[in-house]
Structure 1
Amino acid sequence: MKPTAFLSFLFFLPFAFTATVVLAEVVIDSDGDIMRNGGTYYLSSAAPIGGGGILPDTIINQGDPKTCSIAVVSKLNTEGWEVTISSPIRAGFISTTFPLNISFPRLGRNVCTGDSRDWVVKNSLPVGQPVMIGSAEEFGSAYVPGWFFIKTHDSEKHYYKLVFCEQGKDRCGNIGVKLDNAERRRLVVTDKNPLVFKFDKFHQSFASDLSMVVSTGNL
């Protein structure tokens, strides 16, 4: 199904719990189709050369596997892992105004995060606000409540960026990359340049058999 440029619909604000009519842009995948709510996609880099894929990276804190955690990273010259993108808004499509849950469906139960597959944001110095796998219960006071959103970067090419909007604040931050002390390309909330993506449909036959990298360093 090919989209029109914009759709008007009733949008339920996640934090204010008030309904308002807004003009919302529907997100389009790299095939020119409307992105499906609950669909699985590759977040493919829009960069023509040297782009990277998005995948999980296990971090062992000071060599103790009991304190390990899983970061979301960008790795150059790889396809990365597929992600499932869904919204609590009851619609069959994804809009640039929808609050989103993002997860790695291929990530199985593990010693670091248990059954958690969802992307979350935490406070973690010196990295700042990295994107991690986990839950509010796991990260406690370091957990940052809020939602991810997709925003348009280039509507003609169907290029997008991710932003994170912290609950109770008026502004949102881009999802970009910051190198940590182990030279990992960590996804973080930043005021600087965002990562720019196109969304490629996931096909099971093309899934690569990737294993998570185990690293040491700051969480």
Structure 2
Amino acid sequence: MFRESLFALFLLSAFSSSLLPLTTAQDYVLDTDGHAVENHGTYYLLPAKSGSGGGGIEVAATGKESCALTVVQSLNEDSMGLPLKLSSPSITTSHFTEYTSLSIEFTSAPAPCSSASEWTVVKGLPEGRAVKLNDYGNTVEGDFAFVCAKREFYRCNKSYQLIFCPYGLMRCEDVGISIDDDGNRRLVISDGNPFLFKLQKVGSSSSA
């Protein structure tokens, strides 16, 4: 369930040091072509810099999972990962800004044993709270949002980080990468150590 008043929550929140001033909160999120990211659009989420050790975002079976339920960064730096649908039920506009509450989901559920495709955060795992698909269980209620990671002359350089805002708390947390014993690059709650990425629209040839 999304909260239509998420932006008001940010105004009251005690942000982590990695987040940017609230005066930037109305900036549109931009893709690699410099276009505002579309509400209900499909995009690849790629590392902001090449040579970071991984490629785009996909899903994998990790630990004792028999299904691919863990959201991970591809181990192949050349991989685009899987297409993601980005949508916000809290707004009616065709584009969204930073801090807008988001639903993030793969455009299709992984076969053969899961019907879920939407991201959620799961607690009680050995690696801490991690990003999984939403039929995993033991989930943390909250919202995802995008925040500009770096600005140049007061404009975002199209590099972003993902934050997660648990309901009932007065602060939001970074989503970062944690490498497990099998080498999987899992997306986890990693406050102060965010994963930086760019958004490329599916069908675009841009590599900026």
Q: TM-score normalised by the shorter chain: which range applies?
A: 0.7 to 0.9
SS of aligned partner of 1:24: coil
Aligned to 1:91: 93
TM-score, normalised relative to structure 2: 0.78
Instruction: Tell me how far 1:94 sits from its aligned partner.
Output: 1.4
Instruction: Give the greater-gyration-radius structure (CA).
Output: 1
- The Cα offsets for residues 43-99 of structure 1, whole Å up to 9 and x where unpaired, read as 11111324421100023627xx4xx45100012312211111100121110111210
Higher alpha-carbon deviation: 165-174 or 42-51: 42-51
Distance 1:204 1:70, change over 3 A: farther
In the alignment, the residues of structure 2 paired with residue 127 and residue 87 of structure 1 have an alpha-carbon distance, to the nearest angstrom, of 28
Q: Contact 2:59–2:68 at 8 Å: present in 1 too? A: no
Matches of residues 1-219 of structure 1 in structure 2 within 5 Å? Answer: 12-14=4-6, 24-50=26-52, 51-59=54-62, 61=64, 65=66, 68=67, 70-76=69-75, 77=77, 78-88=79-89, 89-108=91-110, 110-111=112-113, 113=114, 115-135=115-135, 138-139=136-137, 142-155=138-151, 156-203=156-203
d(CA) in 2 for partners of 1:83 and 1:15?
A: 23
SS of alignment partner, residue 62 of structure 2? strand
- Give the unaligned 5+ runs of structure 2: 10-22
- How many pairs does the alignment contain? 181
Which runs of no fewer than 5 residues in structure 1 stay unpaired? Answer: 1-10, 206-219
In 2, are the aligned partners of 1:109 and 1:116 still within 8 Å (CA)?
Answer: no
1: distance between equivalents of 2:7 and 2:122?
A: 19
> Sequence identity of aligned pairs in percent?
32
Provide closer, same or farther for how the CA distance between residues 165 and 52 of structure 1 changes in structure 2, counting only shifts above 3 A.
same
Give CA deviations for 1:120-160 in whole Å, capped at 9, x if unaligned. 0001332101100124xx50xx2100000000112442111
Query: Greater strand share, 1 or 2?
Result: 1
